[in-house]
């Protein structure tokens, strides 16, 4: 096949890309930096496979993701396998099985690639998603919620993102309120749809006895104190009040652990939280609308409480400041091995000449080097 016959690289399937040079390097080093913060807090690395049997991968917490998973037949066992659309349910499986008897709190971390079927529209979002995250399995407390958020904040600070917004929600709060209002099923559907769209007029139309409370909660979304004050003022049934209290406690614990970050609360948001049962969080850099990560509380496969947060390196390293690249030094053909070794030990990148060059300065420039080594002395290339 000649180059002319090759499909254009633009013909990668939509949602899949080649990361090149500086982008790939930044993402790889940065992900390692995130993971080193996770490890420093005692989160032990686990690495589940890209593929599992469909019934294992998409059971338990993974069931909510079944429509996003590619399937393949294993020619060996003749059983269906699925490509993971999310790593968190795999961690939940490991916690419930291989690490069932490991001491709790169980702290696990992971980094890898997940693949989504996507939404089938041209120009759609990424379908190969990098994930780097932590799961804290065992405790169900505001302290546990806050640890996960605080470690994510520390990891993002390590890669240079310090001005963060944590947007908190409690996806079962509004449904619990609606459930206890005893509304007809069709009304419940209409109301959930209205809440999903933040459509106050439709909430008023369908909300009946709880319309007033729901609209106050809808309007309360925003800065955490104000939202929590609004939640405090309204009259809530006991089960809903428990969700509200926990949201308040977790918010306070997060604020104590991550002073100075922006915290918002949307008490009625539930969209996009598929298997979560408690406080959920989306992470943003201030001034950017791209979600850097998300997580929250859920139940592991054996109903054990768990809380996790997954950062998306693809997004994180679009926002993170770039580190300076090390300087490239051209080693003319025949340069002593030891010279290169010394330069690399000092943090330089060496680029070896594999044959004599007409002009070594010219060759250095052509290969994006800033210096030529002359017996270990760096001579700048103009």
Least separation in angstroms between CB 224 and a copy of itself = 20
Of residues 290 through 309, those in contact with a copy of itself by CB under 8 A are: 301-303
Q: Rule CB under 8 A: say whether 148 interacts with a copy of itself.
A: no
Instruction: Return the bridge partners of 283, or none.
Output: 166, 293
Of residues 219 through 278, those in contact with a copy of itself by CB under 8 A are: 257
For 149, other C-beta atoms within 10 Å of its C-beta total: 28
The CA distance from 288 to 293, in Å, is: 13
Q: Rule CB under 8 A: say whether 56 interacts with a copy of itself.
A: yes
As a dihedral over the C-alpha atoms of residue 193, residue 288, residue 291, residue 279, rounded to 10 degrees, the angle is -70
CA distances from 226 to 216, 245, 251, 266 (A): 11, 14, 12, 10
Of residues 72 through 91, those in contact with a copy of itself by CB under 8 A are: 72, 74-77, 79, 81, 83, 90
Tell which one of 198, 241, 323, 328 touches a copy of itself (CB under 8 A): 328
Closest by CA position to 164, among listed 178, 175, 153, 177? 153
CA distances from 35 to 8, 137, 370 (A): 35, 18, 32
Specify the residue, 88 or 90, whose C-beta has the smaller distance to a copy of itself.
Answer: 90
The CA distance from 274 to 61, in Å, is: 9
Q: Rule CB under 8 A: say whether 41 interacts with a copy of itself.
A: yes
Tell which one of 64, 128, 219, 332 touches a copy of itself (CB under 8 A): 128
Number of residues that bind a copy of itself (CB under 8 A): 96
109-117, 169-177, 186-194, 265-273 -> range binding a copy of itself (CB under 8 A): 109-117
Of residues 151 through 180, those in contact with a copy of itself by CB under 8 A are: none
Q: Rule CB under 8 A: say whether 197 interacts with a copy of itself.
A: no
Sheet strands (E) in 96-234: 106-115, 128-137, 164-169, 222-223
Least separation in angstroms between CB 321 and a copy of itself = 19
Least separation in angstroms between CB 272 and a copy of itself = 21
């Amino acid at each position: 096949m000649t180059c002319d016959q090759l499909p254009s690289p633009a013909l990668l399937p939509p949602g899949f890309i080649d990361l090149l040079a500086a982008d790939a390097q930044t993402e790889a080093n940065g992900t390692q930096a995130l993971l080193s913060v996770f490890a420093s807090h005692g989160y032990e690395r686990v690495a589940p496979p890209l593929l599992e049997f469909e019934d294992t991968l998409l059971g338990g917490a993974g069931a909510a993701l079944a429509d996003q998973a590619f399937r393949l037949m294993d020619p060996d066992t003749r059983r269906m396998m699925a490509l993971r659309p999310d790593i968190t349910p795999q961690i939940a499986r490991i916690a419930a099985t291989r690490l069932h008897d490991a001491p709790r709190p169980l702290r696990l971390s992971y980094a890898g690639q997940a693949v989504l079927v996507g939404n089938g529209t041209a120009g759609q979002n990424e379908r190969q998603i990098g994930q780097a995250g932590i799961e804290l399995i065992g405790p169900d407390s505001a302290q546990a919620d806050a640890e996960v958020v605080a470690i994510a904040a520390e990891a993002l600070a390590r890669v240079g993102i310090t001005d963060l917004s944590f947007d908190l929600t409690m996806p079962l709060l509004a449904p619990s309120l609606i459930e206890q209002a005893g509304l007809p099923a069709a009304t419940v559907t209409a109301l959930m749809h209205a809440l999903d769209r933040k459509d106050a007029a439709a909430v008023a139309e369908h909300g009946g006895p709880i319309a007033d409370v729901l609209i106050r909660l809808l309007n309360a979304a925003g800065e955490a104190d104000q939202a929590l004050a609004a939640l405090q003022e309204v009259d809530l049934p006991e089960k809903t009040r428990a969700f509200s209290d926990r949201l308040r406690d977790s918010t306070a614990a997060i604020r104590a652990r991550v002073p100075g970050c922006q915290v918002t609360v949307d008490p009625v948001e539930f969209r996009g939280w598929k298997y979560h049962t408690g406080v959920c969080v989306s992470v943003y850099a201030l001034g950017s609308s791209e979600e850097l990560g998300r997580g929250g509380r859920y139940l592991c496969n054996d109903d054990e409480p768990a809380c996790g947060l997954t950062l998306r390196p693809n997004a994180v390293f679009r926002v993170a400041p770039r580190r300076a690249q090390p300087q490239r030094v051209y080693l003319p053909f025949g340069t002593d091995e030891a010279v290169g070794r010394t330069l690399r030990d000092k943090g330089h990148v060496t680029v070896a000449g594999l044959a004599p060059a007409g002009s070594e300065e010219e060759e250095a420039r052509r290969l994006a080097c800033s210096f030529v080594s002359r017996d270990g002395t760096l001579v700048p290339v103009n």
